[in-house]
Amino acid sequence: MEAMMVVLQAAVIPLMAVIMLEAVTMVEVTTWKVMVWELTANNVIMVSAIGNGPLYGTLNNPADQSDVIGVGGIDYSDHVASFSSRGMISWEIPHGYGRVKPDILAYGREIMGSKISTGCKSLSGTSVASPVVAGVVCLLVSVLPENTRKDILNPASMKQALVEGGAKLSGPNMYEQGAGKLDLLESYEILKSYQLQTSVFPTVFDYTDCPYS
C-alpha cells in the first residue's frame, strides 16, 4: 500500500496527464478515495478497468469512483462481454445513491497481445479493455493545441468527451454499457470545439432500463 501511494503521489508532477490503474483490493476505501481525489484535483486523468464480476454491483475500485473513467468490455460483435462487471456503484449507499457505471466500453475479449517471452497470445478481460481507452485518452490529449491544452484538459472534460461521444448499443441496459461503445472520432470532435459545460448522465430517465426494478 505504501509503495502504491508513493507511485500515485509521484504522478502529481508537471506534464503528467494520464494514468491507468488496475483494480485495487488491499487499500482501505476511504484512503483510496482521498488518493484519487488528490490526483484528479491536480488534473491527472485516471482510467481503470471496471472489473470481471460479472454480477450487478461487482464493480472494482477505483473504477467505481465518479472522478475515474471506468471501462467495461465488449466483444467484436459489440456485445457486452459476459465477464464485464455491471453497475450500479454501491459504496455511497445508504448515504448517497448508486451512480451509473461503467462509463464507457471498449474491446476486451480475445484481444491479441504480446507474450512475456515471445510471440502473441489472446487476452480477455476489462483489464484488456482499459488500456485501449487509456491509449485513446492519450491520443486525444496529443491533438489538443499545446497553447490551449491546459485550459481545456481535465478529468471532467475528458470524461465528458468520451461519454457524450459514446455509441449506445442496442439491448444492454445502462448499468451494463454506460454510455456505450468508445468512439474516438466522435470524442475528438467534441473535445476539439470543447467549451465549459454541464453534462447529465444518463441523459434520459428511463425506468424500464433498470435491472433492479
pLDDT at 96: 63
Tally the domains of the chain.
Answer: 1
Residue 103's closest CA among 130, 142, 138, 76? Answer: 130
User: Cβ of 127: how many Cβ atoms within 10 Å?
Assistant: 20
60: in domain: yes
149: in domain: yes
pLDDT tens for the chain, 213 residues long, are 554 555 555 555 555 577 776 655 545 566 777 888 888 888 889 999 999 988 888 888 888 888 899 999 999 999 999 999 998 877 767 666 678 899 999 999 999 888 888 889 999 999 999 999 999 999 999 888 888 888 888 899 999 999 999 999 998 988 899 999 999 999 999 988 888 878 777 777 666 766 655
β-strand pairing of 104-107 with 69-74: parallel
CB of 158 closer than 8 Å to CB of 140: yes
Residue 159's closest CA among 73, 68, 86, 36? Answer: 68
CB of 104 closer than 8 Å to CB of 116: no
- What CATH number has the domain bearing residue 126? 3.40.50.200
Tell me the residue range of the domain where 94 lies. 2-192
Local structure of residue 66 (DSSP, 8 states): T
Q: Which residues of 57-75 are buried (b: 16+ CB within 10 A; e: fewer)?
A: bbbbbbbbbbbbbbbbbbb
111: in domain: yes
Rounded CA-CA distance 51/41 in Å is: 24
pTM of the predicted protein model: 0.85
42: in domain: yes
154: in domain: yes
32: in domain: yes
- For residue 175, count CB atoms less than 10 angstroms from its CB and return exposed for 0-12, middle for 13-18, buried for 19 or more: buried
201: in domain: no
Rounded CA-CA distance 134/18 in Å is: 7
